[in-house]
């Protein structure tokens, strides 16, 4: 049996403009430019304005715009004809009286450097092209062997290793070039390619890479090496070839016992190994790695002890409503008053209304993004004022998202979106915003300090330790406690791992 009843529910529904603003807050300055271009292409009512038309953005302005549900009915088509006529007439009167040119966006509280700087790209051979040019030195039997050699070179990765199995290379040749190769041919050509420059190229693992470089040094003998150096190279080859596992784990006492050598001899051999390049392709100027350039979203300048914050000028795109669309609305209103408008013209005006509203929402969202970003960064600057003055990481205060949210009156999620993927340029380098946020740690005196301060001191202790007897995590804990930091051994281990510092055994040197 069917029943009907009424019920009340509390639902939180985000409006389209709130969703748009959240998405804009998340993207960094480098991405904003592309986002604006996409909106300009999608909405003909939005255009880039003239440079002399400016709209002042006041720092700390009203960030809490009220977005009501009825603000987002531009695209709806009400059913009653009279209601539609009334809304359209009211919209035309209100829009024409309210100059749409006021919906333009250009700010003058941004960094003055608006020069479009392009980075010149050097035209050089790629790393694989560099290897292929060396194929001419090989006396290959025919074009078939040349094709196999090129396939092997093409399978070498950006670090210089051949991590693809010979069987896979054979399959690649068969499918792509209809060449049937044998495993013996692959290994024969690979041995020849491994003699190319740079030494170590084409190795299948680190052990083989180091061996190739050591053997190449002995064979070339350029510049000439002494008997003592030759002995060290031979010992280094034996260590890598026979005791690579012990070497990688730094079991130096075991190596001395297995090889029957002194600590001095072992040190000479290891010094030669440490001179080798574990990534032979990294030395090539034009490898295939993509270079990423950081575009700072903010700039902080110290002006005689006073910090000055500016937004990157790219955060202020010069946008406005297309004047042509305003003229079309005026023309429609005049025709309607003279009873010369038709249904087709009315549909066109409804379309124009939708696009103009969409352009207004986008401009408002960009403006609010600027204000929110400035307000958040200004609060962070004030909170970490001592750090931005001195650049001393020990002066960073414990700061979490809630601290900035309480100061700005913004939601924690909004502060998180601003801090995500944003950078600030200071005289001490370009810093990531989220790196300023850290938990607190209590000292023996009851004072709260930032975990970043503890990590900085931990880094200094490890850098100054005796590498022959590096400190264990327990010893590091005791040293930090002596300095007044109440910290546990497992916390020291966690911070050490976050700093990418290996355990004491792997930090040991001879």
- Quote the CA–CA distance of 47 and 2 in Å, as a whole number: 55
Task: Return per-residue pLDDT of the chain as tens, 510 residues.
Answer: 667 777 766 655 556 667 777 777 777 777 888 888 888 888 888 887 653 333 333 333 344 433 333 333 333 444 444 444 445 555 555 555 555 445 555 544 455 444 445 545 555 668 888 888 888 888 777 888 899 989 999 899 888 899 889 899 999 888 888 889 898 989 999 999 988 888 899 999 999 999 999 888 888 766 677 777 788 888 999 999 999 998 888 888 888 899 888 888 888 888 888 888 888 888 765 544 555 677 888 999 998 889 999 988 777 778 888 788 777 777 766 666 656 656 777 777 788 888 888 888 888 888 888 889 899 999 999 999 998 998 888 888 888 889 999 999 988 888 888 888 889 999 988 888 888 888 777 777 777 777 888 888 898 899 888 888 888 888 898 888 888 888 888 888 888 888 888 888 888 877
- Whole-Å CA distances, 396 to 331, 365, 431, 438, 440: 61, 32, 13, 9, 11
Token code pair at residue 92: 């035309």
Domains and CATH numbers, the chain: 16-48+80-112+291-437 (no CATH), 127-283 (no CATH), 440-507 (1.10.10.60)
Token code pair at residue 94: 């209100």
Token code pair at residue 430: 């370009």
Sign of CA dihedral 218, 222, 223, 224: positive
Strands 298-303 and 104-105 come out as unpaired
Q: In whole angstroms, what separates CA 203 from the centre of its chain?
A: 31
* Buried residues in 84-94 as b, exposed as e (16+ CB within 10 A): eeebbeebbee
Model pLDDT, residue 503: 86
Torsion of CA 123, 124, 128, 132, to 10 degrees: 120
Entry pTM: 0.59
- Whole-Å CA distances, 95 to 100, 101, 333, 365: 7, 11, 11, 19
Model pLDDT, residue 225: 73
What's 219-259 look like in SS3? HHCCCCCCHHHHHHHHHHHHHHHHCHHHHHCCCHHHHHHHH
- Quote the CA–CA distance of 127 and 134 in Å, as a whole number: 11
Token code pair at residue 243: 């005791």
- Quote the CA–CA distance of 13 and 99 in Å, as a whole number: 31
Model pLDDT, residue 217: 83
Model pLDDT, residue 334: 65
Nearest C-alpha neighbor of 100 from the set 318, 326, 364, 351: 326
- Quote the CA–CA distance of 84 and 353 in Å, as a whole number: 13
- Through-space distance between the first and last CA atoms of the chain, rounded to whole angstroms: 86
Token code pair at residue 80: 């009653």
The total of other beta-carbon atoms located within 10 Å of residue 255's CB is 21
Token code pair at residue 372: 């929110």
Token code pair at residue 478: 């005791």
Phi, psi of 161 (to 5 degrees): -100, 150
Token code pair at residue 337: 């008053």
Sign of CA dihedral 27, 31, 37, 42: negative
Phi, psi of 476 (to 5 degrees): -60, -40
Looking at the DSSP bridge assignments, the partners of residue 446 are none
Length of the chain equals 510
Q: Which residues contact 109 (CB under 8 A, 6 or more apart)?
A: 56, 57, 59, 310, 311, 374
114-118 CB contacts, 8 Å cutoff, 24+ apart? 114/313
- Quote the CA–CA distance of 290 and 296 in Å, as a whole number: 19
The total of other beta-carbon atoms located within 10 Å of residue 300's CB is 21
Per-state percent for the chain, helix, strand, coil, to nearest 5: 55, 10, 35
Strands 298-303 and 423-426 come out as parallel
Q: In whole angstroms, what separates CA 337 from the centre of its chain?
A: 57
What's 4-47 look like in SS3? CCCCCCCCCCCCHHHHHHHHHHHCCHHHHHHHHHHHHHHCCCEE
Phi, psi of 309 (to 5 degrees): -105, 130
């Amino acid at each position: 049996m069917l029943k009907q009843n009424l019920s009340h529910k509390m639902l939180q529904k985000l409006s389209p403009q709130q969703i748009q603003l959240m998405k804009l807050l998340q993207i960094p300055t480098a991405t904003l430019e592309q986002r604006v271009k996409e909106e300009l292409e999608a909405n003909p009512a939005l255009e880039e304005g003239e440079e002399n038309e400016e709209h002042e953005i006041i720092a700390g302005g009203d960030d809490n715009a009220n977005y009501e549900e009825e603000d987002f009915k531009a695209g709806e088509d009400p059913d009653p004809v009279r209601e539609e006529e009334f809304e359209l007439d009211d919209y035309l009167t209100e829009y024409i009286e309210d100059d749409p040119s006021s919906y333009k966006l250009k700010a003058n509280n941004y960094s003055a450097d608006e020069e479009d700087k392009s980075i010149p790209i050097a035209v050089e051979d790629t790393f694989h092209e560099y290897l292929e040019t060396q194929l001419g030195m090989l006396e290959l039997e025919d074009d078939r062997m040349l094709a196999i050699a090129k396939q092997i070179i093409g399978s070498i990765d950006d670090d210089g290793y051949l991590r693809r199995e010979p069987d896979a290379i054979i399959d690649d040749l068969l499918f792509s070039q209809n060449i049937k190769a044998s495993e013996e041919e692959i290994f024969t050509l690979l041995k020849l390619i491994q003699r190319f420059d740079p030494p170590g190229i084409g190795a299948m693992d680190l052990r083989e890479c180091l061996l190739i470089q050591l053997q190449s040094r002995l064979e070339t003998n350029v510049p000439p090496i002494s008997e003592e150096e030759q002995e060290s190279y031979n010992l280094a080859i034996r260590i890598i070839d026979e005791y690579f596992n012990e070497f990688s784990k730094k079991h130096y006492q075991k190596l001395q016992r297995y090889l029957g050598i002194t600590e001095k001899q072992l040190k000479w051999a290891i010094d030669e190994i440490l001179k080798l390049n574990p990534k032979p392709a990294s030395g090539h100027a034009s490898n295939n790695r993509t270079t990423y350039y950081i575009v700072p979203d903010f700039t902080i300048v110290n002006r005689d002890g006073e910090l000055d914050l500016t937004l990157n000028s790219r955060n202020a795109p010069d946008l406005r409503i297309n004047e042509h669309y305003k003229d079309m609305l005026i023309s429609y209103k005049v025709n309607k008053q003279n009873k010369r408008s038709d249904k087709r013209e009315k549909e066109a005006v409804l379309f124009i209304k939708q696009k103009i509203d969409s352009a207004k929402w986008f401009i408002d969202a960009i403006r609010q993004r600027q204000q929110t970003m400035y307000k958040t960064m200004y609060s962070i600057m004030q909170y970490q004022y001592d750090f931005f003055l001195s650049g001393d990481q020990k002066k960073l205060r414990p700061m979490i998202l809630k601290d900035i949210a309480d100061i700005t009156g913004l939601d924690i999620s909004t502060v998180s979106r601003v801090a995500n993927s944003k950078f600030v340029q200071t005289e001490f380098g370009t810093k990531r915003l989220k790196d300023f946020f850290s938990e607190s740690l209590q000292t023996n005196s009851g004072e709260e300090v930032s975990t970043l301060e503890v990590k900085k001191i931990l880094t200094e202790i490890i850098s100054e330790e005796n590498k022959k007897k590096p400190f264990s995590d327990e010893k590091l804990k005791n040293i930090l406690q002596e300095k007044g930091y109440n910290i546990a051994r497992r916390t020291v281990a966690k911070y050490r791992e976050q700093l990418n510092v290996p355990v004491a055994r792997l930090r040991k040197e001879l």
